[in-house]
Structure 1
Amino acid sequence: MTEIILDHYEINKATSALLPAYHNDYQTTVWEEDQRYYVKKTPLQLIKEACLEGGADYNGRRAAVTHKTGVNSKVPIPVLPHEQIYAFPTHSPKLYECHWLFYHHIKSIHRHPDAPSHTIITFIDSKELLLHVSYYTIEKQLQRTSYCMTRFTHYPSFS
């Protein structure tokens, strides 16, 4: 498979994960349903740019989620809420090893059978990602993101 290295990448409905890359030519590996891209910007830079494209800055979205949910750390982000694109970090976004996973692409999570500190993420396209993050942490992040989505979905009012 040819490496496609991009200066810029726009998060979209096909984006399933942003992985930090330990490479000289790029800083992020983007997983899409049927494609991999390699981007010169960091995962957090891509998240911040997508938030701005969606009409608000990252810090504003983060503050709104904290206000509505009470979550203060590893805050899920409504990246493009009008398109139902929500992402959550696996670690503090300040840490280099932070991966960003996109909620609607996750099919299941499983404990690694031999390493309790690892979790296997299965995406809806059946691809798997092994993360050095506990099952509990990923499960908690999924629950937080689900709650965040509920709080940011606008239902018609019944009056």
Structure 2
Amino acid sequence: MKQRPLSIIKDGCIIGGSTYEGRVIAMQHLLHIRQKLPVPISPHRQICAFPTESPRNFDCHWIFPSHIQEVKKEQEGVTLVFSHAHLHVNLSVHTVNRQLTITNRCQMLLSNNVNYFITQRK
């Protein structure tokens, strides 16, 4: 059965312990942004992804930064190089780097929160 990418992301969030909507609300609160939010699918396993455009758009791709090996600038957009694939997206290098930075920040915030709660329980 084929699923839309957003459905797969939502299922992953549920398996990771929350809803997609809950993750989005948390990221809006923690990161103070509203568009192209990274989604921590499984924070304890450091699995995060960001959309290339509005997740409601049919052409939206979900990027898992930990798998990117290289970002190549093209005449139009960029090519994301993964270990066994390439993906051309119509984003600027600046936008991709910004998304990578925001996603990294998301992972750091959540990692710090998890560590905080672990130390508070001792």
Percent of aligned pairs sharing the same letter: 34
* Structure 1 CA distance for aligned equivalents of residues 70 and 104 of structure 2: 14
Tell me what 2:70 maps to: 108
Tell me what 1:22 maps to: none
* Structure 1 CA distance for aligned equivalents of residues 58 and 93 of structure 2: 20
Q: Secondary structure at the match of 2:88?
A: strand
Correspondence for 1:65 among 27, 31, 43: 27
Kindly report which structure 2 residues correspond to 1:18-57, keeping only aligned pairs within 5 A, or say none. 40-57=2-19
1:128 lines up with 2:86 in the alignment: yes
Q: Secondary structure at the match of 1:140?
A: helix
1:137 lines up with 2:95 in the alignment: yes
- Matched to 2:43, the amino acid is P
Q: Secondary structure at the match of 1:137?
A: helix
1:119 lines up with 2:78 in the alignment: yes
Task: Give unmatched runs, 5+ long, in structure 1.
Answer: 1-6, 8-39
Q: Deviations along 1:83-142, whole A, 9 cap, x unmatched?
A: 111000000111111000112111221211xx2x3101112x153221122222211111
Q: Secondary structure at the match of 1:93?
A: coil
- Matched to 1:132, the amino acid is N
For residue 50 of structure 1, report the CA deviation from its aligned partner.
0.8
Q: Secondary structure at the match of 1:155?
A: helix
In the comparison of the two structures, how many residue pairs are matched?
116
* Structure 2 CA distance for aligned equivalents of residues 152 and 65 of structure 1: 10
> What TM-score, normalized to structure 1?
0.68
* Structure 2 CA distance for aligned equivalents of residues 126 and 41 of structure 1: 22
* Structure 1 CA distance for aligned equivalents of residues 70 and 102 of structure 2: 16
For residue 56 of structure 1, report the CA deviation from its aligned partner.
0.5
- Aligned residues: CA RMSD: 1.6
> What TM-score, normalized to structure 2?
0.87
Higher strand share: 1
Tell me what 2:115 maps to: 155
In the TM superposition, structure 1's runs of 4+ consecutive aligned residues that sit over 4 Å from their partners are none
For residue 64 of structure 1, report the CA deviation from its aligned partner.
0.5
